[in-house]
Amino acid sequence: MSKIIVIGANHAGTATINTILDNYSGNEVIVFDANSNISFLGCGMALWIGRQISGPEGLFYSNKELLEEKGARIYMETPVYDIDFSNKMVYAKGKDGTEYKESYDKLILATGSLPIVPKIEGGDLKNIQLVKLYQNAQDVIEKLKDDTIKDIVVVGAGYIGVELAEAFARCNKNVTIIDMADTCLANYYDKEFTQLMEEQLKSHKVSLECNQSVQRFEGTDRVERVITNKGEYKADMVILAIGFSPNSKIANGSLELFRNGAFLVDKCQQTSIPDVYAIGDCATVYDNTIDAVNYIALATNAVRSGIIAAHNVCGTKLETVGVQGSNAISIWGLNLISTGLTLQKALANGYEAEVTDHEALQKPAFIEKNNSVKIRIVYDKKTRVILGAQLASDYDVSMAIHMFSLAIEEKVTIDKLKLLDIFFLPHFNQPYNYITMAALKAK
Ligand SMILES: Cc1cc2nc3c(=O)[nH]c(=O)nc-3n(C[C@H](O)[C@H](O)[C@H](O)COP(=O)(O)OP(=O)(O)OC[C@H]3O[C@@H](n4cnc5c(N)ncnc54)[C@H](O)[C@@H]3O)c2cc1C
């Protein structure tokens, strides 16, 4: 029986609270969250802004009442402002000024991440928007009702920037994405795949301006222009989507941190202090592709790490199996899905990496409703171990990536894939399917 305090009740926090309450009885679970809502699915933000869903109601899967019914004590809009790790005390202050002082046996930090806000001249002009919280999305949607907002610049061509660009274009805005890299989605895909996304954006009149950095924002009251080292772009609204940094200030230097400031955790999610755990975007993950600790901020990692911490805190030892950074994006029906390392990243990490590529129809040619699928498998030339995979199609081929995720985790070689038993049914695939063909083509 422990007194467990959870700080932060979004994806990581909710997963850990549910796991504790669903699997172990007799614990006292106290939760503090600075926000007014729980479990907002940021991934639905672009769909909501782009009017692909009718409203935000379905973007939440939990709330204070649901967690309280299970037995937790929840304090919303109550930020924790100090932790005394030596005396195991947490200090928080409610919206109405009420002070809370609670002791703990076990502490779980689930404080998440914060959008990176670059220090750029003009950054305080109106209509320069962040995209993280439900409230941010509400704010953007409210402002879009103003017809004078015609030109929108999205800074950052990662998956969030690209998804939002689509959303704004669907609202009939003129959209420009600006990025320092030489293409979009450069972290997750090689050129052969990002080119497909570039073409997709272009065909929907989204302008992608690469190899340039924002120098300043100009305007009188609200933003009017974005100035980069290469040009000037008209902007009635700017979206900052250049990434997230771990929200770890609360520990005030008491815990060991990763190079980007995330709480450094072991495979059981424990921090450098016993009985203090960290989960989700505020913590590191174990990255199987580089066999080392890394930072990959994703809701999926948040949920898994929350489950792991819950079991460990309640006395069942459970270690992470590590992650591969599996991800996907779907823009006007073009689906890109990847896991593990791209060729570029593999080379940058010192692997003698090689790729095998294949492109084919998903189903036999006699099936009239058919789509092309493009696959790349990245592997280590020396050990033959699979390091990554990328897929592109208008068809939903997303489930295939999970096999590659497991293959990377289990260090499967490319040769093992060559004669893998993959079923054939014309409704779904070809007898010479794209996975087998790509593997067979590996030198
Ligand atoms: C637009 C967008 C789209 C995304 N799409 C995807 C996607 O498609 N797939 C995917 O896997 N991931 C996606 N993500 C990432 C995903 O949302 C994050 O990885 C996830 O939210 C991390 O969950 P978390 O609980 O660790 O942290 P957070 O969501 O950051 O939550 C942290 C919580 O801690 C609370 N908190 C912080 N400090 C304190 C304090 N001092 N006291 C009390 N409470 C505190 C906050 O109020 C918050 O509720 C997306 C993110 C965004 C913004």
- Are residues 122 and 171 located together in one domain of the fold? yes
Enumerate residues 6+ apart whose C-beta is below 8 A from 292: 286
Which domain, by its residues, includes 121?
A: 117-240
Indicate if ligand 1 lies below 6 Å from the C-beta of 200: no
pTM (two decimals): 0.96
Q: 37: CA distance to ligand 1 center in Å?
A: 12
Nearest to 229 by CA among 252, 247, 210, 242: 210
pLDDT, tens only, 95-112: 999 999 999 999 999 999
pLDDT tens digits, residue range 300-312?
999 999 999 999 9
* 103 and 122 fall within a common domain: no
The CA-atom distances, in angstroms, between 219 and each of 23, 122, 153, 238 are 55, 8, 14, 12
Domain membership of residue 325 (yes or no) is: no
Q: What are phi and psi of 356, to 5 degrees?
A: -130, 130
Ligand 1: distance of its center to the CA of 113 in Å? 6
Ligand 1 proximity of 110 Cβ (cutoff 6 Å): yes
Report how far residue 166's alpha carbon sits from residue 169's, in angstroms, rounded to the nearest whole number: 5
Evaluate: CB of 303 within 6 angstroms of ligand 1.
Answer: no
CA nearest neighbour of 217 among 206, 204, 200, 233: 233
Please indicate, yes or no, whether residues 184 and 130 belong to a single structural domain of this protein: yes
Residue 264 and residue 179 share a domain:
no
CB of 304 closer than 6 angstroms to any ligand 1 atom? no
Residue 423 lies in a domain: yes
What CA–CA distance (Å, rounded) separates 305 from 278? 8
Same domain, 170 and 225: yes
Domain annotation covers residue 322: no
Active-site amino acid positions: 11, 43
Beta strands in 137-288 (DSSP E): 151-155, 174-178, 207-209, 214-219, 223-228, 232-234, 237-240, 244-246, 276-278, 285-287
Mind listing the pLDDT tens digit for each residue in 153-190?
A: 999 999 999 999 999 999 999 999 999 999 999 999 99
Give the residue, out of 5, 7, 11, with the most ligand 1 atoms within 8 A of its beta carbon, to mutate for a pocket test: 11
Q: Domain for residue 91, yes or no?
A: yes
Q: Do 417 and 398 share a structural domain? A: yes
Query: Would you say the CB of residue 373 lies under 6 angstroms from ligand 1?
Result: no
C-beta of 363 in contact with ligand 1 (< 6 A) = no
Q: Is the CB of 247 under 6 A from ligand 1?
A: yes
In this structure, the answer to whether residues 410 and 346 fall within a common structural domain is yes
pLDDT digit string, tens, across residues 214-239: 999 999 999 999 999 999 999 999 99
Same domain as 26, residue 69: yes
Q: Do the Cβ atoms of 212 and 228 come closer than 8 Å?
A: yes
Task: Establish if 47 belongs to a structural domain.
Answer: no
Average pLDDT for the chain: 97
CA of 280 to the centre of ligand 1 (A): 8
**Alpha carbon distance 433, 403 (integer Å):** 15
Substitution candidate for ligand 1 out of 111, 263, 300, 339 with most atoms within 8 A of CB: 111
Same-domain pairing of 26 and 98: yes
Give the pLDDT mean for 102-123. Answer: 97
- The pLDDT, as a whole number, for residue 245 is 97
- Ligand 1: which atom is nearest the Cα of residue 300? 11
Q: Do both 380 and 281 map to the same domain? A: no
pLDDT for the residue 384: 98
Residue 186 lies in a domain: yes
Instruction: Tell me, in angstroms, the distance from the centre of ligand 1 to residue 108's CA.
Output: 15
Number of domains composing the chain: 3
Q: So what's the pLDDT on residue 18?
A: 98
pLDDT at 267: 98
C-alpha to C-alpha distance for 386 and 380, rounded to whole angstroms:
6
| Domain C-terminal end among 209, 240, 271 | 240
Backbone angles phi, psi at 197, to 5 degrees: -70, -40
Give pLDDT tens digits for 37-74.
Answer: 999 999 999 999 999 999 999 999 999 999 999 999 99
Last residue of a domain, one of 240, 269, 301: 240
Cβ distance 17 to 63 under 8 Å? no
Residue 354 scores a pLDDT above 90: yes
Residues 201 and 122 in one domain: yes
Q: Judge if 236 and 267 occupy the same domain.
A: no
CATH number at 293 reads 3.50.50.60
Confidence tier at 197 by pLDDT (50, 70, 90): very high
Residue 437 confidence (pLDDT) above 90? yes
Q: Which of 224, 240, 256 is the last residue in one of the domains?
A: 240
- Mutate which of 31, 43, 168, 185 for ligand 1? The one with the most ligand atoms within 8 Å of its CB, which is 43
331 C-beta neighbours (distance < 10 Å), count: 22
Smallest CA-to-CA distance from 154 within 136, 135, 131, 133 is with 131
In angstroms, what is the span from residue 63 Cα to ligand 1's centroid? 15
Q: Is residue 48 part of a domain?
A: no
Q: Is the pLDDT of residue 443 over 90?
A: no
Ligand 1: distance of its center to the CA of 14 in Å? 11
Q: What is the CATH number of the domain that holds 349?
A: 3.30.390.30
Cβ–ligand 1 contact at 79 (below 6 Å): yes
Query: In the chain, pLDDT over 70 holds for what percent of residues?
Result: 100
pLDDT of residue 189: 98
Whose alpha carbon is nearest atom 24 of ligand 1?
112
Predicted local confidence at residue 1, as pLDDT: 84
pLDDT at residue 241 in the model = 97
Q: For residue 105, tell me if it sits in a domain.
A: yes
